[in-house]
C-alpha cells in the first residue's frame, strides 16, 4: 500500500541516513541508551512487564508486587504497558529487553521518517521538497536525542505519521480504518503525548475539510462532517480504555508538584525561542521554522492559513502548553507531536517559494520579524542569557538562512533554502545535543545487564522459601541503574523510579522515617543504606559487585557491621544475608498507637519500628514501650573541626552553625562521643548556591539537595543518616560535596547493636507463601499465629486490596503509617491477598464499546460508498 513508484531507493537512503544520524549523535559516544532514565526506567520496566506476562500468562496485569514495596502496575503504564512495540518483544524471550529497545528505537526512527516522506509524496510534493523535509524531521532536536533517553517522547511517531495518512484517506475515500487504528496505536504507545498528537490531527483535519467543503455548505452538513471526522478518533480513545481508565485512577493518587501560574501569565503570548529551535525537549527545528510560520500568516487560502494561525496560537499562548501538561506546569515537550505537522507546513512553504507564490515583501518582513522574535526571547525572555555562545550561534544561523534566501531569490534553486537548514540543524544539533557523558559506556552497560547477576539471584531464591526482599547495593551510579531492575519474579525490592507512585509510601520514606536521598531527582526512591530501614522492609539479601581489593574489604566490613554475612560468591558478585530482618509479612502483638508514635522525634521514630508495629488503635500504655525505645539510642556530640584549605573551608559560626565552602568533594574525619554501633545523624542544610546541587556523605552514604531550578527538585533540606560504626570507634568520615552551604541543627545519636537484631521478639509468626499461587496480583499462603494480634506487611497500603482469611473477607488497614495490615486471631490460617486495580473492569467495557463503535463506523462508511457509486445514485444526481 505504501510503495511509491520510482522512489524505493529513497527509503533505503533514509534508512542509511537514520543509522548514520544515530551513530553520529549518540552511538559514537557509547550505547544507544542513557545512563539515567533509559537504563533505570525505559528499558527495565518493559522487561518487568514481559517477565510478569511469562509468569502469569495475563496480558492485563494489575499489581507490581516486586517494585517499590508493591504498587499498582498502572503507576508504570507510561513506560509501555500495552505498547505494541513492547508487546512485540513478548515473542522474543531470548532477546535482552535493553538490546531489543535499542534496535526498536532505530527502526522506529526510520519508519517515522519513511512514513513522513511517503505522506509528503502522496500530498503531491516533489522529491526535491519531500526528501529534504524528511531529513529535517530526522535531524530535529528530539528525534535521535530522545530515542536513546526518554523514548516515550518520540516512539509513537510512526503511528502519528500513519494517522496523518489516514486522515487524508478519510477525506479522499471515506475510509477511516487506518486513521482510527493509527490513533489507537499512538495512544497505546504513549498516551501522554497522544493528546498533542490528536490535537495536531484535529487541526490538520479541519484544514482538509475547509479545502474540500462546498462554498455554501449547510450548518447541518458541517456538523455531520465534523462528527464523521471525530468519531474514529473517539472510537480509538474508547478502544484504549483498558489503558486509559486504570491509569487515570492510578495517577490521581500521585500529588504532583504544580507551578503557581497566574491567569495573565497563561493568556499573554510568550515568544520563547526554545518552543521551536534546537531543543531536545521541544520541536527542535531551526530558526527557519519561525520564518515559515510568520510567512504562512500571509497566505490567502483559508485551509492553509488556519494551519499556520493555529500552530502559531498554540505554540505562543502558554495556556495550551499548561493544559496539555495536565495543569501541572508549562513545558515545551508537549509540542513534540506537532513536529510532523510543522514539517508539512515547511513543505507547503517551500512549494510556494518554488512557484513564486510569496512576494518578496512578505518574505523580507518574515525574516525581520524572525530576528525580532529572537531578540525578544533573548533580551526580554532571558533565554540563553547564561550561554552567550548559544545565543550567537542561533543568531548566526538566522542570518545565514536569510542570506541563503537572498541567493535563492535570484537563482531560483530550491537547494539554497533546504540544504542550509539541514546543515545548520546538523551542526547546531551536534552542539546543543552533544550526548557524550550522558550515554551508557559499553563496559558499564555490559556489567549492569550481565545475566550472571540474575543467575546468582535465582540461586539464592531457589533455596529461600520465605517472602523477603533482595536488593542490589553499591555506589550511587549502580543504584541509579537498578532502581527498577528485577532479575527473577521472586525478587522483591523497595526501590522505585517512576513519575507516578504510591503517595503513602513516598511520604513515609521522606517525611516519616527519613530515608537518605542520594539523588537530585525527587522521584528516584533508592534502595536505602539505612540498616533499620532495610530491617523494616525485609531486605534479607543484598547483592554487591566486588570492586578493587580495598573496596571489597571495606564492603565486607560494612556489611558485617549491619548484621549481613557473606552468603554466596560468584566471580565478581557477592551476596550478603541477614537473619534479623523482618519478613515482608508477619504477625505480632507488640504494637503501639499511631498517635503516640507521631510524637516521637528522630531517631526514635526509626528505633521504635525495630521493636514495635504501629497501628491506629492499641491498648498499649506509653510507659510500657517509651523507655525501651528511647534507651536504644543516646544523644551524643559530634566534633567537626574548623579548617581553611585550598579545597575546603569549614567555619563554625557564633550560632553553632557550620559554613561550608568546597571547591571539590573533600573528606574530613570527625569524632563522636559515647558508645554504640550505629550513628544517627541529622542536619538542616541551607544551600547558598541554589542554582547548584549540594551533597554530604557520612561514612559513604550520600544525601543531596538538588538545584532549586531542577524540574524534579527534591526539597531535601534535612539530611538524615543512619550508618554503622566499628565497635567502640569514635570516628566518622564526612565528605563535603562541591558548593557553598550552611549546616545547622545538627543532632547526633549512637544506637546499640540490639537494634539490628530481633531481641524484642517482634516477628512472632512469619507468613509462608505458596509460590505456585503467589504471582501477579495475588499473594497467598499460610501462617501459624502464636498470639492474637496484627498481620503486618511492608507492602504499601492501598484500599484496592481484597483480603481473605480462611476464605472470609476482612478489612485491611494502614499500619506502620504507610503499609497494609489487618487484625488476625491465634491459630493456623490461610491468607489470601488479591489486588484489584481500580478502573480495569470499566476500561475493558469501554474498549469493547470502542471496537463496536469502530466497526459500526466502518460499516456505515462502506454503505455510504456503495450508495454513492450505485447506478440509482448516479441517476438521482442527474435528475437533480
* pLDDT tens column, 332-361: 899 999 999 999 999 999 999 999 999 999
Alpha-carbon distance of 794 to 538, in angstroms, equals: 8
Please enumerate in sequence order all residues whose Cβ is within 8 A of that of 85, keeping only pairs 6 or more positions apart, or say none.
Answer: 104, 108, 155, 189
864 compared with 649, residue with greater pLDDT = 649
62 compared with 217, residue with greater pLDDT = 62
Nearest to 784 by CA among 583, 537, 570: 583
Nearest to 512 by CA among 814, 114, 801: 814
Q: What's the rounded mean pLDDT across residues 109-138?
A: 96
Alpha-carbon distance of 814 to 614, in angstroms, equals: 9
> 3-state SS string over 188-224?
HHCHHHHHHHHHHHHHHHHHHHHHHCCCCCCHHHHHH
DSSP-assigned states of every residue in 39-50:
IIIITHHHHHHH
* pLDDT tens column, 166-205: 999 999 999 999 999 999 999 999 999 999 999 999 999 9
Three-state DSSP at 880 gives coil
> 3-state SS string over 487-535?
CCCCCCCCCEECCCCCHHHHHHHHHHHCCCCCCCECCEECCCCCHHHHH
Alpha-carbon distance of 524 to 527, in angstroms, equals: 10
Q: What's the rounded mean pLDDT across residues 854-879?
A: 73
Alpha-carbon distance of 576 to 470, in angstroms, equals: 10
Query: Partners of 636 in the beta sheet?
Result: 748
Write out the three cell numbers for 281: 525537549
Report CA-CA distances (Å) from 764 to 251, 317, 583, 610, 786.
Answer: 36, 62, 10, 13, 7
Write out the three cell numbers for 124: 503531491
Nearest to 429 by CA among 284, 627, 632, 550: 284
Report CA-CA distances (Å) from 862 to 187, 374, 380, 859, 873.
Answer: 26, 51, 56, 5, 15
Is the distance from CB of 170 to CB of 310 less than 8 angstroms? no
What one-character DSSP code corresponds to residue 391? H
* pLDDT tens column, 35-86: 889 999 999 999 999 999 999 999 999 999 999 999 999 999 999 999 999 9
DSSP E strands: which ranges in 655-717? 658-662, 666-672, 678-687, 694-698, 701-705
Is the distance from CB of 188 to CB of 244 less than 8 angstroms? no
Write out the three cell numbers for 752: 546499640
Is the distance from CB of 784 to CB of 778 less than 8 angstroms? no
Alpha-carbon distance of 123 to 131, in angstroms, equals: 13
**pLDDT at 794 > cutoff 90:** yes
Please enumerate in sequence order all residues whose Cβ is within 8 A of that of 379, keeping only pairs 6 or more positions apart, or say none.
Answer: none
Write out the three cell numbers for 123: 500530498
Three-state DSSP at 652 gives strand
Specify the pTM: 0.93
Alpha-carbon distance of 752 to 677, in angstroms, equals: 6
Is the distance from CB of 309 to CB of 293 less than 8 angstroms? no
* pLDDT tens column, 92-114: 999 999 999 999 999 999 999 99
Is the distance from CB of 338 to CB of 200 less than 8 angstroms? yes
CB atoms within 10 A of CB 403: 13
Kindly report the average pLDDT of the chain as a whole number. 91
Report CA-CA distances (Å) from 86 to 59, 104, 672, 700, 712.
Answer: 12, 9, 53, 38, 27
At residue 560, the pLDDT reads: 84
* pLDDT tens column, 438-480: 888 999 999 999 999 999 999 999 999 999 999 998 888 889 9
At residue 878, the pLDDT reads: 44
CB atoms within 10 A of CB 496: 25
**pLDDT at 626 > cutoff 60:** yes
At residue 1, the pLDDT reads: 39
Residues of the chain with pLDDT > 90, as a percent, come to: 74
Is the distance from CB of 534 to CB of 562 less than 8 angstroms? yes
At residue 481, the pLDDT reads: 93
At residue 621, the pLDDT reads: 60
Alpha-carbon distance of 294 to 369, in angstroms, equals: 8
Residues of the chain with pLDDT > 70, as a percent, come to: 94
At residue 551, the pLDDT reads: 63
Alpha-carbon distance of 651 to 645, in angstroms, equals: 11
**Strand ranges of the sheet holding 768-769, from the earlier edge strand across to the other edge:** 768-769, 778-785, 827-835, 801-805, 808-810
Alpha-carbon distance of 713 to 594, in angstroms, equals: 30
Please enumerate in sequence order all residues whose Cβ is within 8 A of that of 34, keeping only pairs 6 or more positions apart, or say none.
Answer: 148, 149, 435, 438, 439, 440
At residue 437, the pLDDT reads: 66
DSSP-assigned states of every residue in 259-294:
----HHHHHS----STTTBS-TTS--B-THHHHHHH
- Whose grid coordinates read 504513549? 190
Three-state DSSP at 622 gives helix
At residue 739, the pLDDT reads: 95
At residue 253, the pLDDT reads: 58
Nearest to 857 by CA among 1, 162, 159, 170: 170
At residue 527, the pLDDT reads: 94
Write out the three cell numbers for 874: 448516479
Is the distance from CB of 414 to CB of 407 less than 8 angstroms? no
Range in 376-380, 403-407, 749-753 with the lowest mean pLDDT: 376-380
At residue 877, the pLDDT reads: 44
What angle is formed at CA 342 by the lines to CA 336 and CA 344, rounded to 5 degrees?
Answer: 130
Alpha-carbon distance of 420 to 842, in angstroms, equals: 53
H or E element that contains 790 = strand 789-796
**pLDDT at 651 > cutoff 50:** yes
Is the distance from CB of 816 to CB of 613 less than 8 angstroms? yes
Amino acid at each position: 500500500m505504501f510503495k511509491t513508484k520510482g522512489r524505493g531507493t529513497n527509503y533505503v537512503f533514509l534508512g542509511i541516513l537514520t543509522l548514520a544520524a544515530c551513530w553520529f549523535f549518540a552511538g559514537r559516544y557509547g550505547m544507544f541508551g542513557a545512563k539515567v532514565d533509559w537504563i533505570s526506567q525505559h528499558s527495565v520496566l518493559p522487561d518487568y512487564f514481559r517477565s510478569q506476562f511469562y509468569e502469569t500468562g495475563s496480558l492485563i496485569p494489575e499489581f507490581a508486587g516486586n517494585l517499590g514495596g508493591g504498587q499498582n502496575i498502572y503507576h508504570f503504564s507510561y513506560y509501555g504497558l500495552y505498547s505494541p512495540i513492547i508487546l512485540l518483544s513478548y515473542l522474543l524471550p531470548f532477546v535482552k529487553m535493553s538490546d531489543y529497545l535499542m534496535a526498536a528505537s532505530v527502526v522506529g526512527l526510520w519508519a517515522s521518517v519513511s512514513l513522513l516522506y511517503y505522506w509528503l509524496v502522496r500530498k503531491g510534493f516533489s522529491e526535491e521538497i519531500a526528501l529534504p523535509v524528511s531529513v529535517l524531521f530526522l535531524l530535529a532536536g528530539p528525534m535521535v536525542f530522545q530515542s536513546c533517553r526518554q523514548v516515550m517522547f518520540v516512539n509513537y511517531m510512526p503511528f502519528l505519521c500513519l494517522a496523518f495518512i489516514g486522515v487524508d484517506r478519510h477525506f479522499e475515500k471515506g475510509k477511516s480504518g487506518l486513521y482510527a487504528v493509527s490513533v489507537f496505536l499512538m495512544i497505546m504507545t504513549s498516551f501522554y503525548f497522544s493528546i498533542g498528537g490528536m490535537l495536531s490531527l484535529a487541526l490538520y483535519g479541519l484544514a482538509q475539510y475547509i479545502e474540500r467543503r462546498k462554498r455554501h455548505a449547510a450548518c447541518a452538513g458541517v456538523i455531520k462532517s465534523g462528527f464523521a471526522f471525530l468519531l474514529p478518533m473517539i472510537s480509538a480513545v474508547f478502544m484504549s480504555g483498558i489503558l486509559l481508565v486504570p491509569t487515570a485512577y492510578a495517577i490521581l493518587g500521585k500529588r504532583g508538584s504544580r507551578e503557581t501560574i497566574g491567569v495573565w501569565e497563561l493568556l499573554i503570548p510568550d515568544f520563547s525561542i526554545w518552543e521551536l529551535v534546537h531543543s531536545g525537549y521541544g520541536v527542535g527545528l531551526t530558526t527557519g521554522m519561525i520564518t515559515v510560520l510568520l510567512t504562512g500568516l500571509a497566505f490567502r487560502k483559508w485551509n492553509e492559513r488556519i494551519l499556520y494561525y493555529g500552530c502559531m496560537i498554540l505554540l505562543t499562548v502558554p495556556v495550551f502548553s499548561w493544559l496539555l501538561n495536565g495543569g501541572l506546569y508549562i513545558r515545551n515537550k508537549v509540542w513534540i507531536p506537532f513536529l510532523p505537522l510543522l514539517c508539512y507546513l515547511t513543505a507547503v512553504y517551500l512549494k510556494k517559494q518554488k512557484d513564486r507564490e510569496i512576494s518578496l515583501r512578505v518574505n523580507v518582513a518574515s525574516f525581520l520579524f524572525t530576528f525580532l522574535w529572537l531578540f525578544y526571547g533573548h533580551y526580554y525572555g532571558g533565554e540563553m542569557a547564561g550561554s552567550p555562545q548559544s545565543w550567537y550561534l542561533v543568531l548566526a544561523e538566522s542570518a545565514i538562512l536569510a542570506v541563503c534566501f537572498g541567493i535563492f531569490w535570484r537563482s531560483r534553486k530550491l537547494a539554497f533554502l533546504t540544504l542550509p537548514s539541514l546543515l545548520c540543524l546538523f551542526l547546531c544539533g551536534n552542539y546543543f545535543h552533544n550526548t557524550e557523558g550522558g550515554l551508557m559506556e559499553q563496559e558499564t552497560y555490559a556489567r549492569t545487564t550481565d545475566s550472571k547477576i540474575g543467575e546468582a539471584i535465582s540461586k539464592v531464591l531457589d533455596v529461600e522459601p520465605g517472602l523477603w526482599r533482595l536488593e542490589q547495593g553499591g555506589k550511587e551510579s549502580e543504584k541509579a541503574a537498578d532502581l527498577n531492575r528485577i532479575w527473577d519474579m521472586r525478587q522483591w525490592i523497595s526501590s522505585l523510579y517512576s513519575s507516578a507512585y504510591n503517595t503513602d509510601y513516598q511520604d513515609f520514606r521522606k517525611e516519616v522515617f527519613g530515608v537518605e536521598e542520594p539523588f537530585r531527582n525527587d522521584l528516584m526512591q533508592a534502595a536505602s543504606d539505612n540498616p533499620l530501614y532495610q530491617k523494616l522492609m525485609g531486605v534479607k539479601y543484598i547483592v554487591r559487585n566486588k570492586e578493587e581489593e580495598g573496596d571489597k574489604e571495606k564492603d565486607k566490613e560494612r556489611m558485617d557491621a549491619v548484621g549481613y554475612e557473606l552468603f554466596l560468591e560468584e566471580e565478581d558478585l557477592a551476596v550478603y544475608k541477614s537473619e534479623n530482618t523482618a519478613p515482608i509479612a508477619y504477625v505480632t502483638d507488640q504494637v503501639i498507637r499511631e498517635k503516640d508514635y507521631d510524637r516521637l522525634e528522630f531517631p526514635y521514630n526509626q528505633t521504635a519500628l525495630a521493636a514495635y508495629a504501629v497501628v491506629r488503635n492499641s491498648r498499649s500504655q506509653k510507659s510500657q514501650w517509651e523507655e525501651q525505645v528511647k534507651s536504644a539510642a543516646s544523644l551524643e556530640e559530634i566534633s567537626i573541626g574548623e579548617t581553611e584549605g585550598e579545597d575546603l573551608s569549614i567555619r563554625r559560626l557564633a550560632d553553632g552553625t557550620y559554613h561550608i565552602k568546597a571547591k571539590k568533594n573533600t573528606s574530613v574525619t570527625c569524632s563522636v562521643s559515647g558508645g554504640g554501633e550505629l550513628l544517627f545523624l541529622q542536619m538542616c542544610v541551607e544551600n547558598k548556591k541554589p542554582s547548584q546541587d549540594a551533597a554530604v556523605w557520612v561514612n559513604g552514604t550520600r544525601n543531596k539537595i538538588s538545584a532549586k531550578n531542577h524540574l524534579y527538585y527534591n526539597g531535601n533540606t534535612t539530611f538524615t543518616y543512619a550508618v554503622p560504626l566499628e565497635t567502640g570507634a569514635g570516628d566518622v568520615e564526612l565528605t563535603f560535596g562541591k558548593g557553598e552551604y550552611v549546616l545547622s541543627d545538627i543532632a547526633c545519636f549512637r544506637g546499640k547493636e540490639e537494634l539490628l537484631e530481633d531481641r524484642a521478639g517482634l516477628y512472632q509468626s512469619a507468613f509462608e507463601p505458596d509460590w505456585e499461587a503467589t504471582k501477579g496480583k495475588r499473594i497467598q499462603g499460610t501462617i501459624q499465629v502464636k498470639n492474637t494480634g496484627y498481620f503486618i506487611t511492608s507492602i504499601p497500603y492501598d484500599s484496592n486490596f481484597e483480603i481473605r482469611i480462611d476464605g472470609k473477607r476482612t478489612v485491611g488497614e494502614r499500619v506502620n503509617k504507610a503499609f497494609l495490615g489487618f487484625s488476625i486471631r491465634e491459630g493456623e490460617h490461610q491468607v489470601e491477598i488479591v489486588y484489584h486495580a481500580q478502573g480495569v473492569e470499566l476500561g475493558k467495557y469501554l474498549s469493547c464499546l470502542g471496537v463496536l463503535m469502530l466497526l459500526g463506523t466502518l460499516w456505515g462508511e462502506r454503505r455510504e460508498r456503495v450508495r454513492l457509486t450505485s447506478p440509482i445514485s448516479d441517476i438521482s444526481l442527474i435528475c437533480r
